[in-house]
Chain A
Amino acid sequence: MRVMAQMAMVMNLDKCIGCHTCSVTCKQAWTNRTGVEYVWFNNVETRPGIGYPRTYEDQDRWRGGWVRTRRGRLKLRAGGRLSKLAHIFSNPTLPEIHDYYEPWTYDYDVLLSSPQGEHTPVARPKSLLTGDDMKITWSANWDDNLGGAGETMADDPVLASMSTQVKAEFEQTFMFYLPRICEHCLNPSCVASCPSGAMYKRVEDGIVLVDQDKCRGWRMCVTGCPYKKVYFNHKTGKAEKCTMCYPRLEVGLPTVCSETCVGRLRYLGLVLYDEEKVLEAASVEDEHALLDAQRSVFLDPHDPEVVAAARAADIPQDWIDAAQRSPIWRLISEYQVALPLHPEYRTMPMVWYIPPLSPVVDVVSGSGADGEDAPTLFAAIDRLRIPLEYLAGLFTAGDVEPVREVLQRLAAMRAHMRNVNLGVEQDERIAAAVGMDAEEMEAMYRLLAIAKYEDRYVIPVAHAEVARDLEEIATGCSLETEGGPGMGGAGPFGSSSGRPMRASVETFHALRHRQQADQAPAGDGTPERVNLLNWDGNGAPAGMFPPAPGEPGYGEGPGTPDEAHR
C-alpha cells in the first residue's frame, strides 16, 4: 500500500442554477490574457448539449483518454509513444481554435469617437485572431439553456449513444447544468501524452500542472485529455490548464470557482488513495465496473492501518486529520451519492458529481403529485428512463443502476427531511429503503443542504516550513500584458519570454486574514501606506485617509511608523 493524498472536488448538480459566476471569476483570475482568450478553465454546460469544445466527448473523433487492449493493458487512445513522435509535426486530432470558438471583442472606440449623427453608432465585433470584422456564430456557451437546441443538440455524443426515440423527446423532458474544471485524474492521460515530460502530478496533493518552463509546445496533451481541459496558449506556444488554484489551496483558501459559487454546490477536500492500485483499477475489463474499481482505490482515512501507512508515507498529521473530515470522502464513499464524470475514459477523474434529482422532482410536481413523497419519487425515478439513461451516459459509462441508487438516496433524503421539518412521525422505512438510517440521513442533509462553509471546504494548508518553496509562479500576472502596467510584456523571443515573475504567497495570506477577520484590522492611527489592491472594501484601514486636524500624526505625511512615532 502506497498512500497518497489527492485534493478532490464534488459538485452537487441539483444546486447549480447555471449562473456562470464560477466561469467568469475563474476567467478573470486566470485566463484574461492574450493567447488564452478562448480558454475557460471552468465552464458550465447545459446538458443535453454538445459542450465546449464542441462534441469533446466523441472520443472516436478526438481520441482522448485510455483504451484497454485485448491483453488487458492500457494504452493511450490517440496512440502510444512511437505513434506520438511520428505525429509530432502535425497532430491529427488536435482541436482547432474554431472547435472552441473564435474569440472576439467589440470596437468600443466607435461608441466614443463617432461624430454626432442621425444613427446610433454600433460597436462591431472584431476577431481577436485576425482583427477583422467577424460574425459571431459560436461561443463557449452558445447552447446555454438549450438555446438553439433543435439545431445542434443531435450532435451531443451522450445523446447519440442513446436511442432515437430519446433524442426526439429530450427537449420536453429535462435539462441541467454541468460545471466542468480539470479532473486532476489519478491516471492522467494528458500527463502520459506529454512528450517533454512537462506535465506532472504533484506528489503532495495530486494536482496536475504544466511546467511552463519545460513545455515545448508539442500539443499532445490537448489530444490526450478526453475532457479537453488542457488548452494551447496560441501566443506563448505553451499548454495551460486549470491549476485547481493551488496558490489559494496552499494557504487554505478554496478555489476561485468554489469560493464564488452562488449555489454553494462545490465541495473541496482530501481523499487518501492507494497509488499502487490505480493502474489495476483503471484497467478492469467491464466499463460498468470502473466506478466500483475507482471507489476501491480510495482508502478509509479512519482505518488505523491506513493512518499508519499514511504517516509512513510522510503525509503530515494535519493532512490526515483533514482527510478524516473530508466532505469528499463522505460523499463518494460513505453516502455514495457522488459519481465520476465519464469513468469509461479510464483516467480516474477526481472531480465527482452528485447527479440532479430535480428533473424527476420537476416532472412529479408538474403532474400535480407530491414531489416530496418517497414512494411517488421512487416510482418516478424508475419510470423516467430518459434522465436516468442520460445521467448514466455521463457518470457511469451507461450503467443505470448506480444512478438510480443515488437518485433514490436523494429522494429518500427529501422525504425524510420533510417529515422531520413538519414534526410528523418518522417513517424508518424511508431511510432503510436506501440502506441508511435516520442519523446518517440527517448528517447527509446537513452536508448537502445546509452546506456550511467549513463543511464544504476542508483544506489543509501546505506546510509552512516549505514556505519559501511556495513562491510559485502563477501562470502570469494579469497586469503583465503587452503595453500593460506590469513589469513584463513581450520579451526578446516573443510574448512573455525570459524569466517568470514571482507570485507572492504573502498576498494570499494577507487576503485570507482580511477575509476571515471579524473587523477591519485595527490601526494605531499613524499614517502608513495602504495597498489598495488588497483592500476588500471592508472598513477604512488606518492610513487610508490622512489624519484629521488634531489627530496624532496630522501634517506629517506618509512615512514609516518607525520614523514617525515608535
Chain B
Amino acid sequence: MTPTDTLLWVALPYAVAAVFVVGHVWRYRYDQFGWTTRSSQVYENRLLRWGSPMFHLGILMVIAGHVVGLLVPRTWLEAIGIDEHAYHLGATWMGTAAAVLTIAGLVILIYRRRMVGPVFLATTRSDKLMYVVLAATLGFGTAATVLYQVFGAAYDYRGSISPWIRSLLTFQPQPALMSDVPLMFQLHVLSALVLFAIWPFTRLVHVFSAPVGYLFRPYVVYRSRDRASGSSRAVRPGWERVERPGARPRL
C-alpha cells in the first residue's frame, strides 16, 4: 500500500464526502432561491421530450444497479438464490441497457444544449463543468463494463471495489483493496468522486428535492401570512444595520 493509495482511496473519498454533506447543508441554508432544476423546457421541447426522460430513467436504473452491486454483500444475494453467474448476467445486461439509455439521453441533451441557441446561452460555467465530469464518469463506467464485463473475463468488482466502499462506510478503510483494480474502474471511481465533490455547487442539487411529499399532501395548500414571512426574511447575523444612538428612526 503506497501513500498514493492512501491518498486516493482513503483521504480523497472522505474529503469528498465531507464536501458533499457540508456543501449541501450550506447550500440549502444559504441558497434556497437558487435550488432549482433550472429547466430549459420552455426554450425547446422536441429534443428534450426524448432526451430528458431517457437520461433520467437511465440514470435512476444506473443508481439502483450501483446500490445492488456496491452496497449489498455477495452473501446476501446468494442467500436469496442469486449466484455469481445469475448476478453477472443480470448486472451486465441490465447495466448495459441502462448505460445505453443514459448515454443516448445525455448525447441528445448535450447536443441540444450546444445547438439550440437559447439553451446554450442559458448554460452556466457550472453546468459545463458538471457536464464534463458527469460525461466522464458515465464514459469510464460504460467503458469498464464493456471492456471487462461484456467482452472481457468478467472482472469481479464485488471482491474489491464493493468491499472497499463498505469499508469506507464503516470507517475501517481498506485502500489495499483498490490498488489492483483495473485502471478503467479506478478512473470511473475517481471521476465519480470529483462529481460528488462539485455536486452541491451545481444544479444537481435538484436530485434531493424529488417531490415525494406531493403524493401525500392535500391538493390545495393554505398558508398564513405570518408563517409565510419566516426563515428567509430574517436578517443574517452580523448584517444588522448600524443604528446610531439618538438618531431619528429610519423611514
Residues of B within 8 A of A466 (CB): 225-226
Residues of B within 8 A of A236 (CB): 33, 36
> What mask results when residues 116 to 141 of chain B are scored 1 for a CB within 8 Å of chain A, else 0?
01100110101000000000000000
Is B214 an interface residue, CB under 8 A from the partner?
Answer: yes
Bound-complex Cα distance A84 to B212 (A):
11
Contact pick for A469, options B33, B41, B117, B229, CB 8 Å: B229
Most buried by B among A132, A201, A237, A562: A237
Contact status B220-A216, CB under 8 Å: no
Contact status A187-B220, CB under 8 Å: yes
Contact status B248-A560, CB under 8 Å: yes
Bound-complex Cα distance A308 to B27 (A):
48
> What mask results when residues 441 to 466 of chain A are scored 1 for a CB within 8 Å of chain B, else 0?
00000000000000000000010001
Take A84-B214, A196-B209 as given contacts and tell me if A219 and B36 are in contact as well, using a CB distance cutoff of 8 Å: no
* Total chain A interface residues with beta-carbon distance under 8 A: 70
Bound-complex Cα distance A94 to B40 (A):
11
Residues of A within 8 A of B40 (CB): 234
Contact status A90-B43, CB under 8 Å: no
Binds B, one of A163-171, A291-299, A404-412, A470-478: A470-478
Is A204 an interface residue, CB under 8 A from the partner?
Answer: yes
Is A506 an interface residue, CB under 8 A from the partner?
Answer: yes
Is B4 an interface residue, CB under 8 A from the partner?
Answer: no
Is A114 an interface residue, CB under 8 A from the partner?
Answer: no
Bound-complex Cα distance A179 to B44 (A):
29
Is A79 an interface residue, CB under 8 A from the partner?
Answer: no
- B29 CB to nearest A CB, Å: 10
Is A502 an interface residue, CB under 8 A from the partner?
Answer: yes
Take A471-B229, A491-B31 as given contacts and tell me if A130 and B117 are in contact as well, using a CB distance cutoff of 8 Å: yes
Bound-complex Cα distance A64 to B209 (A):
24
Contact status B117-A132, CB under 8 Å: yes
Contact pick for A96, options B27, B44, B57, CB 8 Å: B44
Take A204-B225, A216-B211 as given contacts and tell me if A494 and B220 are in contact as well, using a CB distance cutoff of 8 Å: no
Contact pick for B224, options A92, A195, A199, A202, CB 8 Å: A202
Residues of B within 8 A of A557 (CB): none
Contact status B219-A191, CB under 8 Å: yes
Contact status A506-B49, CB under 8 Å: no
Contact status A85-B247, CB under 8 Å: no
> What mask results when residues 41 to 80 of chain B are scored 1 for a CB within 8 Å of chain A, else 0?
1111100110011011100000000000000000000000
**16 contacting pairs across A/B (C-beta < 8 A):** A81-B214, A129-B118, A192-B219, A196-B214, A201-B220, A203-B225, A213-B231, A214-B32, A216-B35, A219-B42, A234-B43, A238-B33, A469-B229, A492-B34, A510-B251, A562-B246
Chain B residues engaging chain A, CB cutoff 8 angstroms: 27, 30-45, 48-49, 52-53, 55-57, 117-118, 121-122, 124, 126, 201, 206, 209, 211, 213-215, 217, 219-226, 228-229, 231-233, 236, 246-248, 251
